Amino acid sequence: MGATLDRELKKGNAELLILALLEEKARHGYEIGKLIAERSEGIVRFHVASLYPLLYRLERRGWVKGEWEPAGGRRRRFYRLTATGRKTLANQRIRWRAFSGAVNRIAEVRHA
Amino acid sequence: MPDWKKIVGEKLGCLPLNNGRQEDVIEELAQQLESAYEDALAQGMNEQEAICRGLAQFKDWEKLRSEVFQSVEGTQLPVWEQNGISAPRRLPVWIALAVALAFLLLPSFRKVLQVLPLSSQRDAWDTSAFSADALRRIERSGDKGKYARTLAYVALHNPDDQQAVLAAEKAIALDPQLAWISARVSHANYLIPGYDPKPWINRLKAWDRDNAYVYLLEAGASVHQDWEKRWAKFTPLNGELRRALVQDPSWRIAMEKAFSAPRFEIYSDRQFLLERGVLLERGLDRPDKLMLAAASVQFPDFTLVKMYADYLRLEVGESEEKKGHPENALAAYQSVASFGQKLQADSTPMEFQHTFSATLRKDAYDKMIPLLRREGRHGEAAVVESALAAVRAEEFGGRKLFERLQRSPAYRSGQIILVCGLSLILFALAAALWFACVALLSVEPNLSRAMNWLGSHLGWAPVLLPLSSLCLFISFFPYSRSISEYSAAEDLFATFGSLYAGVGSLRLDPILDVWIDHMFWPLLWCAVMLLLGALCLRLIAWSRHTDQSGVQ
């Protein structure tokens, strides 16, 4: 049950996490994976086999754009947010705040 | 350092992406592995451990390949590019399909498919085996006996009554010993306008005048020929119809002859032997057909028999008792009991004839016992009482018949066969759909996304098909006997009958009769209308979208 819930939560919010990381600056896939693990202090980890298909899906939808750029003496494919991606991120953030706020209000309420 | 690009290229295999994206994807995934490898080395791992850590990031390359394609192209990987366990590129899938088809070579397997309740028409008739051409070929062969037997089968089972009558004429002309088929022809053709059953009954009477059955058919013919006209005004509930019938000499005399005839035989043994022989001669070694044929024995109208028995008991017997003629009353009761015994002695496998016989005897004995006691004939009364006890035991056995049937192992085997058969049908339909999609996509890979989806998702069907075929074959195998091994209808009903009842325990008739036979065209019409409606909505949505785009 717990594992399933984790999986569902991760699946539902994976797009939000990637879009949020790309809001700051353009990043490549390896960096995105590492950043998610680091910033969540290991609680959220993306399986690499899921990360790349997700990035390609976001690119197909026009939310991110990938381009080859030189980095550290080699070519890297960097992803950056598009205008549509920014709008989507804003919408997803609003939904997430509403949802997490609602869950917090229920889970943290104390009855007198 | 390993050549990560080469490794990824080999592991991923062909990835038919448009616009040269394959190279991009391979390079990007190779960089992911390389970065992981470098990190591992930086953490102090040796070369081999670092390579393992790099490779461990992608465990299922086929799944990755499929997901990458779907993400980039927005559609499923073409079915002929897939490498999964049930992909059409895999030889085992085709071997499984071939094995499933090879089951059709086994006669037992073909036999069990025929037993499954797949058709709403389940009878002894077979249009192709008894077609006009087939009959002509038999006639030309010069084997008169075989031709006569086949015609007799046609007379007994052809659903076209006119054809049945013609076949019966020819069969009896060729072999007068087949005169007994007149019983079926005389009795089953009242719906033919202007049909007169009497010549057939007279022919049967001339051939077998000691048989009560013939006279019951005669009595039935005198009533049924004009049932609506003469008898519909009488109610059967208070004996009104019975009293009216007794007034009709043609009916009463025929009944008197039936009750006084030395024996009762509905020719079930002769019919079974003829049907078994003809089915074997026509290459139809099918116990289901033989059972349905044997079950179609022409019974006389037992309602009329009951009315005449009630007349003897309630009118003749009671009135003779009142008149003080106990011997006459006993004779009337005994006549009913004797007729019941004759019914019981007949070898028909049909339980209801024996149940009816028991009812007649019980009713007669119930009248005889008090009369014999009143007459002081206690010895005879005791004999009748013991006969009554035996009849009650028979009745009890009859009531338990269906329960016995359900408890038999053959009935349960029948239910297993039904489940296996239904799964086989499901898998066979899915495999046929899969095959059609895969075959069309092999010619034109981009023909349809829906077809590609079906081809990808129905790949399990050809793999499961031989398994369900095997289960069906194994569950039927113990019952897979040739019809030549059944010596009598009773033997067939006792073993194969239970199995057949188990297979038919799920009633598919409403689906087959109503939905397939009657609702097919209405459903097709609804589907076409639905499709047109959906197309119209799509067109409306498209035109609105175009208008809005134009405004912007």
Q: Mutation target for A interface from B12, B19, B31, B76: give the one with most A CBs within 10 A.
A: B31
| Interface contact flag, B72 A56, Cβ < 8 Å | yes
pLDDT over 80 at B407, yes or no: no
Token digits of residue B487: 């010596």
Distance of residue B547 Cα from the nearest chain A Cα, in angstroms: 23
Distance of residue A58 Cα from the nearest chain B Cα, in angstroms: 8
| Interface contact flag, B71 A29, Cβ < 8 Å | no
The label of the residue with tokens 């989507």 reads A88
In the three-class reduction of DSSP (H, G, I as helix; E, B as strand; rest coil), residue A80 is classed as strand
Distance of residue B439 Cα from the nearest chain A Cα, in angstroms: 29
Instruction: Look at residue A112 and tell me if it is in a domain.
Output: no
> Measured between beta carbons, which residues in chain B are less than 8 angstroms from residue A48?
32, 36, 57-58
Using alpha carbons, select from B317, B412, B443 the residue that is nearest to residue B371. B317
Using alpha carbons, select from B12, B50, B15 the residue that is nearest to residue B33. B50
Using alpha carbons, select from B370, B360, B423 the residue that is nearest to residue B395. B360
| Interface contact flag, B28 A48, Cβ < 8 Å | no
| Interface contact flag, B71 A74, Cβ < 8 Å | no
The label of the residue with tokens 């590492």 reads A34
State which residue of chain B sits closest to A58, comparing Cα positions.
B71
| Interface contact flag, B28 A52, Cβ < 8 Å | yes
Choose among A53, A57, A76: nearest Cβ to B31. Answer: A76
| Interface contact flag, A48 B35, Cβ < 8 Å | no
Q: Beta A64-71 vs A74-81: how paired, if at all?
A: antiparallel
User: Mean pLDDT, to the nearest integer, of B94-118?
Assistant: 91
Cα distances (Å, whole numbers) of residue B260 to B204, B244, B361, B369, B465? 17, 22, 15, 22, 61
Cα distances (Å, whole numbers) of residue B194 to B5, B83, B305? 91, 71, 26
Token digits of residue B405: 């049937």
Instruction: Look at residue B251 and tell me if it is in a domain.
Output: no
Token digits of residue B9: 């290229």
Token digits of residue B427: 């898998």
Instruction: Look at residue A69 and tell me if it is in a domain.
Output: yes
Residue A37 contacts B, CB cutoff 8 Å? no
Could you give the CA distance from residue B82 to residue B7 in angstroms, rounded to a whole number? 19
| Interface contact flag, B71 A60, Cβ < 8 Å | yes
For residue range B111-158, what is the model confidence (pLDDT) as tens digits?
999 888 776 567 888 888 999 999 999 999 989 999 999 999 999 999
| Interface contact flag, A57 B71, Cβ < 8 Å | yes
User: Mean pLDDT, to the nearest integer, of B260-267?
Assistant: 93
Task: Identify which has the larger pLDDT, A48 or B420.
Answer: B420
Residue B531 identity: L
CA B55 vs. chain centroid, Å, equals 58
> Measured between beta carbons, which residues in chain A are less than 8 angstroms from residue B25?
52, 56
pLDDT of residue B313: 92
For residue range B166-192, what is the model confidence (pLDDT) as tens digits?
999 999 999 999 999 998 888 766 666
Choose among A30, A57, A68: nearest Cβ to B35. Answer: A30
Could you give the CA distance from residue B272 to residue B294 in angstroms, rounded to a whole number? 6
Give the CATH number for residue A33.
1.10.10.10
| Interface contact flag, A56 B60, Cβ < 8 Å | no
pLDDT over 50 at B550, yes or no: no
ipTM of the complex: 0.86
Residue A93 identity: R
DSSP B160-186: -HHHHHHHHHHHHHH-GGGGGGHHHHH
Last residue of a domain, one of B205, B231, B259: B205
Residue A28 contacts B, CB cutoff 8 Å? yes
> Measured between beta carbons, which residues in chain B are less than 8 angstroms from residue A49?
57-60, 63-64, 67
Last residue of a domain, one of B155, B176, B205: B205
| Burial degree of B2 (CB within 10 A; 0-12, 13-18, 19+) | middle
B82 confidence band (pLDDT: 50, 70, 90): confident
What is the tally of structural domains in chain A? 1
> Measured between beta carbons, which residues in chain A are less than 8 angstroms from residue B64?
49, 52-53
> Measured between beta carbons, which residues in chain B are less than 8 angstroms from residue A32?
none
Rg of chain B in Å (alpha carbons): 37
Residue B346 identity: D
Q: Beta A27-28 vs A64-71: how paired, if at all?
A: unpaired
> Phi/psi of residue A78, each to 5°?
-100, 140
pLDDT of residue A2: 44
Helices (H), A25-82: 29-39, 48-61
Lowest mean pLDDT of B145-159, B233-247, B520-534, name the range.
B233-247
Count of CB pairs separated by less than 8 Å, A with B: 53
β partners of residue A49: none
pLDDT of residue B513: 62
The answer to whether B157 touches B296, Cβ cutoff 8 Å, is: yes
State which residue of chain B sits closest to A53, comparing Cα positions.
B68
Q: Mutation target for B interface from A45, A54, A56: give the one with most B CBs within 10 A.
A: A56
Q: Mutation target for B interface from A34, A52, A61: give the one with most B CBs within 10 A.
A: A52
Q: Return all residues near B146 (Cβ < 8 A) that are at least 6 apart.
A: B138, B281
Last residue of a domain, one of B205, B223, B249: B205
What is the tally of structural domains in chain B? 3
- Distance from first CA to last CA of chain B, Å, rounded? 56
pLDDT over 70 at B547, yes or no: no
Cβ atoms within 10 A of the Cβ of B311, count? 20
Could you give the CA distance from residue B42 to residue A78 in angstroms, rounded to a whole number? 24
Choose among A55, A60, A76: nearest Cβ to B74. Answer: A60
| Burial degree of B346 (CB within 10 A; 0-12, 13-18, 19+) | buried
Lowest mean pLDDT of A13-17, B319-323, B433-437, B494-498, name the range.
B494-498
* Crossing angle for the helix pair B212-224 and B302-310, to the nearest 10 degrees: 100
β partners of residue A27: A79
The answer to whether B271 touches B184, Cβ cutoff 8 Å, is: no
pLDDT of residue A1: 41
A10 confidence band (pLDDT: 50, 70, 90): low
| Interface contact flag, A30 B36, Cβ < 8 Å | yes
The percent of residues above 70 in pLDDT, for chain B, comes to 92
Residue A74 contacts B, CB cutoff 8 Å? yes
Distance of residue A110 Cα from the nearest chain B Cα, in angstroms: 44
Using alpha carbons, select from B176, B196, B178, B174 the residue that is nearest to residue B187. B196
β partners of residue A81: A64
pLDDT over 80 at B400, yes or no: no
User: Mean pLDDT, to the nearest integer, of B300-308?
Assistant: 91
Residue A53 contacts B, CB cutoff 8 Å? yes
Token digits of residue B399: 């009531």
pTM: 0.70
Token digits of residue B219: 């009595």
In the three-class reduction of DSSP (H, G, I as helix; E, B as strand; rest coil), residue B518 is classed as helix
pLDDT over 80 at B18, yes or no: no
**CA B119-B125-B128 angle, 5° bins:** 90
CA B510 vs. chain centroid, Å, equals 13
Token digits of residue B380: 């005879």
Instruction: Look at residue B252 and tell me if it is in a domain.
Output: no
Distance of residue B121 Cα from the nearest chain A Cα, in angstroms: 50
pLDDT over 50 at A112, yes or no: no
User: Mean pLDDT, to the nearest integer, of B214-220?
Assistant: 92
Residue A44 contacts B, CB cutoff 8 Å? no
Domain containing A56 equals 2-107
Instruction: Look at residue B427 and tell me if it is in a domain.
Output: no
pLDDT over 70 at B195, yes or no: yes
Could you give the CA distance from residue A29 to residue A27 in angstroms, rounded to a whole number? 7
Instruction: Look at residue B305 and tell me if it is in a domain.
Output: no
The mean pLDDT of chain B is 87
Residue A29 contacts B, CB cutoff 8 Å? yes
Domain containing B15 equals 4-74
Instruction: Look at residue A85 and tell me if it is in a domain.
Output: yes
The answer to whether A60 touches A38, Cβ cutoff 8 Å, is: no
